[in-house]
Every structure is written in C-alpha cells, then in structure tokens.
Amino acid sequence: MKTKVLTANRLSDGISVWLGANGEWVFSLKDAFVARHDDAVAAITAAGDQALADNRVVDVNVIEIEETPAGLRPFRLRERIRADGPTIDYAPVSAAQASQAA
C-alpha cells in the first residue's frame, strides 16, 4: 500500500488544508497525519467525511504521497501545487479597479 494523507479546502475561505495527527486541519503538508496502512486510511477517510458533513471543509480527498529525505511529496501535480501554494501571486484589487470592472 502507498502512503496517504487527507486533504481538503477549508469551507470558510477555500484555503488548502491537511488532516493533522490531532484531528485538526493544518495548513502545511509537513504537519499532516501520514496513513501507512489500511486501518489508518479508513480512519482519515471517516474523519474527512465527518468534517464534510459538519460543513468545515469541501473537496475532501485521500491522496498518495511519498516520503522523501526532504519531506512529504504528493505524487500528483495538482496536489503538489496545493501543497506548495498557488503558481502565481494573488494581487489585491483596488476599489477603483473593481468598480471599473463592473
């Protein structure tokens, strides 16, 4: 079995989060609980289902990762982007620009 973690997006603001060992959602993949066997995967899946039902998170996914000397690394590009942050910087829109766009 491959090593897995649970990821989601926080419902309040869409920030990518991972399920930590204490059952709380954390902001860094390095702090995620690592499931190394089927029972652990079942436990994080159940925790994700409950958090989704409680409207705490959306887009809940168990993802495969590899443990490298540099730390945890998702296999899929989508999840690497989620773990490392957006590919571009967010730029705040001024009120003048927003009104012109409307």
Residue burial 44-59, b: 16+ Cβ < 10 Å; e: rest: bbebbeebeeeebbee
CA atoms of 74 and 61, how far apart (whole Å): 12
Mean pLDDT of the chain: 87
Q: 1 CB contacts (<8 Å, ≥6 apart)?
A: 36, 37, 38, 41
Percent of the chain whose pLDDT exceeds 70? 82
pLDDT score of 85? 74
pLDDT in tens, 41-90: 999 999 999 999 999 999 999 999 999 999 999 999 889 888 887 677 66
pTM of the model: 0.81
pLDDT at 102 over 80: no
